[in-house]
Amino acid sequence: MFAVIFTRRMSDDLEGYDAMAVRMLELAEQQDGFIAFNSMGDKNLGVAISYWKDLNSIKAWKQNIEHLEAQRLGRSKFYRDFSLQICRVEKSYCFGDPDYHPILS
Amino acid sequence: MFAVIFTRRMSDDLEGYDAMAVRMLELAEQQDGFIAFNSMGDKNLGVAISYWKDLNSIKAWKQNIEHLEAQRLGRSKFYRDFSLQICRVEKSYCFGDPDYHPILS
């Protein structure tokens, strides 16, 4: 399993952002190899973590035509800064309700 | 570089939690191999991501005596659910102000 950690600070021009974010999640969930997604935070510091079966799934999602346009808008308009890490999950465990942990089910 | 992704939902008994969280970050920052830390979210869904030089640094931090007590309190009191992934960062890149990205500097 792989995790993509996207940490960002928003710009001041957020017109259209929410609709784009909703559409991107809808599309990502349809991708082969998509496992789970969480996002949280506020304008100054937010993170989106997505979990994927393998690196090829991540590469295919990166090349999705609507996602490419979203990436372009992210750089030109919505994000002031971001960092992205592509990570191989070496260990994963959980505590509590298994239904809280879609990536483990 | 390694990333530890800790995703959690809080319980209703948060007395003492904030002080513990502050102390744990203070201690983690003193550990060999510590690189950076971000946390965000709310009571129902929060994430803390820490970045480390290698797996040995993560193991040493896991075994820190005060941290062991905090882990015990987390399970018995503060967290309703959590999941934890230990991840090898295979690629990392950023956009915008380099000062926004301590893990890359």
Three state DSSP letters for B54-102: CHHHHHHHHHCHHHHHHHHHHHHHHEEEEEEEEEEEEEEEEECCHHHCH
Terminal Cα-to-Cα distance of chain A (whole angstroms):
12
CA pair distance A5, A66, nearest whole angstrom: 20
Among A77, A85, A91, the strongest candidate for a mutation testing the B interface, having the largest count of B CBs within 10 A, is: A85
Q: Residue A19: pLDDT above 60?
A: yes
Q: A66: closest CA among A104, A22, A103, A96?
A: A22
B3 touches chain A (CB under 8 A): yes
* pLDDT of the residue at B99: 77
Q: Residue A105: pLDDT above 60?
A: no
* pLDDT of the residue at A54: 97
A39 touches chain B (CB under 8 A): no
Q: Residue A102: pLDDT above 70?
A: no
Sequence-ordered list of residues with C-beta below 8 angstroms from that of A26, at least 6 positions apart, any chain: none
Terminal Cα-to-Cα distance of chain B (whole angstroms):
12
Tell me the two tokens of residue A39. 């996002």
Q: What is the ipTM for the molecules in this complex?
A: 0.93
CB contact under 8 A, A82 and B89: no
A31 touches chain B (CB under 8 A): no
DSSP state of A98: G
Among B87, B91, B97, B103, the strongest candidate for a mutation testing the A interface, having the largest count of A CBs within 10 A, is: B87
- Please give the residue of chain A at the shortest CA–CA distance from B40: A41
A83 touches chain B (CB under 8 A): yes
Q: B40 - beta bridge partners?
A: B47
Chain B nearest-CA distance from A37, in A, is 11
| A to B CB pairs, distance under 8 Å | 121
CA distances, B3 to each of A68, B48, B54 (Å) = 26, 10, 9
pTM confidence score: 0.94
CA pair distance B105, A81, nearest whole angstrom: 14
* pLDDT of the residue at B104: 63
Interval B17-67: pLDDT, tens: 999 999 999 999 999 999 999 999 999 999 999 999 999 999 999 999 999
CB contact under 8 A, A79 and B97: no
Interval B74-96: pLDDT, tens: 999 999 999 999 999 999 999 99
Chain A nearest-CA distance from B17, in A, is 18
Sequence-ordered list of residues with C-beta below 8 angstroms from that of A62, at least 6 positions apart, any chain: A68, A71
Sequence-ordered list of residues with C-beta below 8 angstroms from that of A24, at least 6 positions apart, any chain: A66, A67, A70
CA pair distance A69, A30, nearest whole angstrom: 17
B62 touches chain A (CB under 8 A): no
CB contact under 8 A, A96 and B9: yes
